[in-house]
Amino acid sequence: MRTTTHPGLGWTAAIGSAAAFGSSGAFAKPLLDAGWSSAALVALRIGLAALVLLPPALHAMRGRWGILRAQLPWLLAYGLFAGAAVQVAFFNAVQHVPVAVALLMEYLG
């Protein structure tokens, strides 16, 4: 089966992802100032991302659930450490330093 690629779709996804990542600190700072915890922000952000990515993920799996079952521990570990823990650390940093400085430290790291 031959699939066609759409370079514009890739660029749109890359720019949208960069914009969402770059603006997350600016959107999170007022919520943190209002009393939200870093963990609550991360739960909200990951939950929204899961909802957005659920339809394409279900489409990509198309009956290959055995692969997911076999790799589930690695997937959960990656989600907890590379996804959630890094975001909690970033939002904790945003509470104490300006958003631009936190992003600069993250990019330099």
What pLDDT does residue 78 have? 92
Cβ 28 vs Cβ 91: under 8 Å? yes
Predicted confidence (pLDDT) at residue 103 exceeds the cutoff of 90: no
For the segment 61-102, what is each residue's pLDDT rounded down to a tens digit? 888 889 989 999 999 999 898 888 888 887 888 778 887 887
Packed helices 7-33 and 99-108: angle between N→C axes, nearest 10 degrees: 130
At a CB cut-off of 8 Å and minimum separation 6, what does 95 contact? Answer: 32, 38
pLDDT (tens digit per residue) in 30-60: 888 899 988 898 898 889 888 988 999 899 8
How is residue 6 annotated by DSSP?
Answer: -
Residue spans of the domains in the chain: they are: 7-108
Residue 2 has pLDDT above 70, yes or no: no
Q: How far apart (Å, rounded) are the C-alpha atoms in residues 38 and 29? A: 10
pLDDT for residue 4: 66
Contact residues for 36 (Cβ-Cβ < 8 A; gap 6+) = none
